[in-house]
Amino acid sequence: MNKLSYFFKFGTVSLVVAAAVQCSSVTQDSSKDASQDTFGKRGIIQEVPLVVEEKYLELVRGLTLSEEAVKQEKDISIVYTSIHGSGITLVPKTLAALGFSNVSVVEEQAVPDGNFPTVESPNPEEKSAMKMALELGEKVNAELVLGTDPDTDRVGLAVRNDQNELVLINGNQAGSLLVYYRLLVGKEKGKLPEHPFIGKTIVTTELIARIAESFGVPCYDTLTGFKFIAGLIKEKEGKENFVAGGEESYGYLVSDFVRDKDAALSAVQFAEIAAYAKSKGTSMWGMLKDLYLQHGVFQEELVSITLKGIDGVAQIQSMMSRLRTTPPQTLGGVALAELHDVKAGTCKNMITGETTTLPYPSSDVLQFILTDGSKISARPSGTEPKIKFYFSLRKEISSANEISSVQNELTQKIEIIKAKLLN
C-alpha cells in the first residue's frame, strides 16, 4: 500500500488540514516573514503535493449518488463563506468538481486571517458568524448558504423555508438530512455498501437513530468527540461499512477515506441534497418536514453554564452528584424511562428497576431518557469550567401543519425542564 492510499484509508486527520497548510500561501505578503521561513526549515509547514488534492476530489466525486439531479440542477444558487479560514482553498474547488457552477463567495471573508476581522467568533454555529453570508444569500436569491469554520472541519448551513426565507438549521437537523439522503438514495441506486452502519455521538439527536432503524441499518453511539466516531470506523473495519454520521456540533462525515469530520466533503454533500430535493419538486426544508412527519418533531437546544474557580468546580460536581443520586422521576410532565450513567457504565430502567451495562468507556455523562423518546444529557466540559445540558425533546405529529406549533411547545417545555434541573 502506497503512502497516498494510507493517508486516505487510515489517516485520522481530514484532508482539509492540507487546506490549512495551503492558506500560508494565500495570506498577504507581509505575513510571509522570517518566522514563516523558520517554520518551513523546521518542517512545521510543508507543501502538500497536488496529487493529494486531485485524489481527494476524485474520491469526493465518487460519492455522488444523484448524478442526474446534480447535472439537472447544477446552477442552483449557492453562497459560501470560509469566515477567513482555510476552507477557501478547497470548498469552492470541491463544489466545482461536482459541477455546481453558480457559487457566490463572500469576498470580504475570503482572505485567510487569524484575526477574523468581520466576526466576533468564526463559528458557523452562531448566527452572527453567518450574517454576511445570509445577506449575500438574500441578494443573489440563494437556495443554500454554507459556512465553514477556520480549520474546515465543521459546516453550518441555511436553507429556504416555506415562506421562502433563508433560515439556519442546526447540526442535528443537518446531520439527520445527510444520513437520510445517503440511506434513501443509496438504497434506491443500489449504492449502499454491504453491512452498512451509521455513527453518531450520544448527545446527538435520536432522529438519526430512528432514520437508520427505518432502513434496517444499525446506528452506533459513541462518546462525545469525533475521535470516537473515527475509532468506531476503525473498530468495524472489515466487518461493517460506515455510510455517514456526525455530531450535533456541525461535524459530519460520509464514507471512510477520511477519518475525521470534513466540512469540504460535507458542503458538497449538502449541495447535492439541495439539488436532489429540487429535482423532486421539494427542498431540504421539505425533506426535513417529511422526517418530522415520519419520526416525530425533534427540538434541540444546548445550554452551557459557566462556573469559574474552585467554587465553580465544586458546584458542577455537586450538581452532577445530585442528579445521579436523586434523578427526577418526570421532566416536562413526561416520565423518566431510563437513566444512563456513563461514568458508572450503567443503564437503569426506571420502570422495572433492571440495570444493564452501557457499551461505552467511562465518562462523566448523565442521560435522562423519557418515555416519549426525548433525551436530556448532562456533561461537564473537559476543557472549560462549564457544565453542558443537551436537550432533545420529541413529540409525534399527524400533520405537517403541526410542526411549527409543536416546535414552540417543545421549546417552552425545554425552559421548564431547564429550571427543574438547574434548581
pLDDT at position 42, please? Answer: 67
Q: Would residue 179 count as lying in a domain? A: yes
**Looking up cell 450503567, which residue turns up?**
346
In a domain? residue 270: no
Coil, strand or helix at 259: coil
Q: What is the pLDDT of residue 79?
A: 98
Report d(CA 379, CA 360) in Å as an integer: 15
Are the C-beta atoms of 292 and 180 separated by less than 8 Å? no
Model pLDDT, residue 383: 77
| Closest C-alpha to 222, from 192, 193, 251, 183 | 251
If one counts the domains in the chain, the total is: 3
Q: CB-based contacts of 382: which residues, under 8 Å, 6+ apart?
A: none
| pLDDT score, position 46 | 77
Query: Which pLDDT score, from 0 to 100, does residue 350 have?
Result: 95
- The pairs formed by 55-63 with CB atoms below 8 angstroms and a separation of 24 or more are 55/4, 55/8, 56/8, 56/15, 57/93, 57/94, 57/97, 59/8, 59/255, 59/257, 60/94, 60/97, 60/98, 60/264, 60/265, 60/268, 61/97, 61/98, 63/254, 63/255, 63/265, 63/269
Q: Are residues 344 and 304 located together in one domain of the fold?
A: yes
Q: Which domain covers residue 404, as residue numbers?
A: 296-422
Whether the model pTM is above 0.75? yes
pLDDT for 88: 97
CATH number at residue 52: 3.40.120.10
At 200 the pLDDT is 98
C-alpha cell at 381: 466540559
Q: Which three cell numbers stand for residue 299?
A: 427540538
Q: What is the model's pLDDT at position 37?
A: 58
For residue 324, the model assigns a pLDDT of 95
For residue 91, which of 149, 139, 49, 52 has the smallest C-alpha distance? 149
* Residue ranges of the chain with per-residue pLDDT less than 70: 1-42
The closest of 229, 239, 238 to 204, measured between CA atoms, is 229
Same domain, 163 and 193: no
Instruction: Give yes or no for a contact between 105 and 128, defined as CB atoms under 8 angstroms apart.
Output: no
Residue 269 in domain: no
Residues 150/125, Cβ–Cβ less than 8 Å: no
Pair (164, 182) in one structural domain: no
